[in-house]
Structure 1
């Protein structure tokens, strides 16, 4: 599973479209929105992780700090 982060909840259209394509090509064909304004792609194989992460970064996205014991987006 790979989780993205979206500071301030802003998700560029090109990032959403790239995530949708990645979920179809490398994941299990689902793109899940999270309660912290990010997205999850399930079913990505380890051998494809570098390609998927590079595509996310090229499309104005990030996976840094998206999960774990870290500060997250502030919810109102």
Structure 2
């Protein structure tokens, strides 16, 4: 049940992130860090040590999160 709740939170984060404009390299780095922390908690809640198991859902969610961060890398244009 905890795993499902964390996935819901991650999906809500991805939805909100997909509506962002641009923020530059620091915002992009913060977004990537958030994606990695989300993946670590996802793997941890599934009982898997990061890098060992094959929890496909966590890996796909992390990849989707990082793809959603890409627009944040665009420079801010006034």
TM-score normalised to the size of structure 2?
0.33
Look at both structures and tell me which one has the larger radius of gyration over its CA atoms: 2
If asked which structure has higher relative contact order (CA below 8 Å, sep 6+), I would say 2
TM-score normalised to the size of structure 1?
0.34
Normalized per residue, which structure has more helix?
A: 2
Normalized per residue, which structure has more strand?
A: 1
